[in-house]
């Protein structure tokens, strides 16, 4: 099956790649000459990119890159710096517990794995860096939802689809709100086969000085090994690791 590619998005990035250190300003004529666009289409692309903040008008018909890219770039660098700090912590956790561990951030209503460590023995799931996971049915996701402002949580529950993955997937809004409130109070979240049958996990937050989440840490593995006692033990190890990370992050201003 051919990949579903949006040609307009591809063309927009071709336009953005015209900007270089030696050519910080681009005009419609450049798009016509180098990308084969007609004048009307070239102007439409440029105005659209200006509208979303990707471009800024330098002079009539001439554009430079907008500051949105500086903001996006700083987010990437921030995530990379967090990943570098948490990676050795995850590796130590996995070595000690013998189960997988990972760290996440919340992006566009999903949790994204930014670092992970896997045990030497086989796992029922192989989470990769960059993997996106649903928030409502994962330990990390429910933890992030518990730290959202009420308005954001309400928007999420009202607009994000919640397919059923397993017999224990919770999709009812009232039930989810009750569990999220419990997680907010307890400071940790469990996942008992809600997304992957037979997989269990526990996650804790790493918080900044204001109480907002910097990242989440979890231990995950087959439910046959991660029974209730093992989950509680993993939770306690994660809490100690999170406390150590928080002290380190406070020194960076996060």
Strand partners, 63: 26, 57
DSSP annotation string for 3-46: ----HHHHHHHHHHTT--SS---EEHHHHHHHH---HHHHHHHH
What lies within 8 Å, CB to CB, of 95 at 6+ separation is 117
CA 162 to chain centre: 18
Does domain 7-66 correspond to CATH entry 1.10.10.10? yes
The answer to whether 213 and 147 are in contact (CB under 8 A) is yes
The structural domains of the chain, with segments of one domain joined by +, span 7-66, 74-250
pLDDT band at 252 (very low <50, low <70, confident <90, very high): low
Both tokens of residue 69?
């890219």
Both tokens of residue 202?
């526990």
The pTM score is: 0.70
Helix (H) or strand (E) holding 63: strand 62-65
Which pLDDT score, from 0 to 100, does residue 2 have?
Answer: 47
Q: Do domains 7-66 and 74-250 have the same CATH topology?
A: no
Residues 2-53 have pLDDT tens digits of 467 888 999 999 999 899 878 889 999 999 999 999 999 999 999 999 998 8
Q: How far apart are CA 203 and CA 206, in angstroms?
A: 10
Percent of the chain topping pLDDT 70? 92
Residues 120-140 have pLDDT tens digits of 876 656 688 989 999 999 999
CATH class of the 74-250 domain in this structure: alpha beta
Residues 181-232 have pLDDT tens digits of 999 999 999 999 999 999 999 999 999 877 889 999 999 999 999 999 999 9
pLDDT band at 169 (very low <50, low <70, confident <90, very high): very high
Q: How far apart are CA 188 and CA 127, in angstroms?
A: 20
């Amino acid at each position: 099956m051919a990949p579903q590619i949006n040609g307009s998005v591809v063309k927009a990035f071709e336009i953005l790649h015209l900007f270089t250190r030696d050519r910080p300003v681009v005009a419609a004529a450049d798009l016509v000459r180098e990308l084969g666009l007609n004048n009307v289409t070239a102007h439409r692309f440029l105005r659209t990119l200006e509208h979303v903040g990707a471009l800024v008008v330098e002079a009539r018909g001439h554009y430079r890159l907008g500051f949105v890219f500086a903001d996006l770039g700083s987010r990437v660098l921030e995530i990379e710096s967090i990943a570098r700090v948490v990676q050795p912590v995850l590796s130590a956790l996995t070595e000690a517990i013998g189960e997988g561990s990972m760290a996440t951030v919340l992006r566009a209503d999903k949790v994204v794995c930014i670092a992970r460590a896997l045990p030497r023995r086989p796992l029922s799931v192989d989470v990769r860096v960059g993997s996106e996971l649903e928030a409502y049915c994962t330990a990390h996701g429910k933890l992030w939802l518990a730290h959202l402002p009420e308005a954001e949580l309400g928007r999420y529950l009202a607009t994000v689809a919640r397919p059923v993955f397993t017999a224990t997937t919770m999709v009812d809004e009232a039930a989810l709100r009750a569990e999220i409130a419990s997680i907010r109070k307890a400071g940790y979240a469990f996942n008992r086969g809600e997304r992957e049958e037979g997989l269990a996990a526990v996650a804790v937050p790493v918080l900044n000085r204001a109480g907002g989440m910097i990242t989440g840490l979890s231990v995950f593995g087959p439910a046959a090994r991660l029974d209730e006692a093992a989950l509680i033990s993993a939770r306690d190890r994660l809490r100690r690791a999170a406390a150590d990370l928080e002290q380190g992050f406070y020194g960076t201003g996060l």
